[in-house]
Amino acid sequence: MAVPKKKTSHQKQHQRRAHWKAEAQEIGTCANCAAPKRSHTACGGCGYYRGRPARLKDAVI
Ligand SMILES: [Zn+2]
């Protein structure tokens, strides 16, 4: 296994991690109620996902 010859300095460590940051979440709109919602998740307001009810308590059978 390759072993580092020198201990990484705090400055180098911080320089490397300076580009490591969280990105903003994708926000879309619900096709059913047009409310803003996160992509690839059921709508928080109406519970619909891709035009169909996705939450059991909202399902009308
Ligand atoms: Zn909705």
CA of 51 to the centre of ligand 1 (A): 9
Q: Which residues contact 35 (CB under 8 A, 6 or more apart)?
A: 29, 43, 44, 45, 46
CA of 23 to the centre of ligand 1 (A): 24
User: Is the pTM above the cut of 0.85?
Assistant: no
Number of H helices, E strands in the chain: 1, 4
Q: Measured between alpha carbons, how far is 40 from 54 in angstroms, rounded to an integer?
A: 12
Q: What is the pLDDT along the chain (61 residues), one digit of tens a residue?
A: 899 999 999 999 999 999 999 988 889 999 889 999 999 999 988 888 988 888 776 555 5
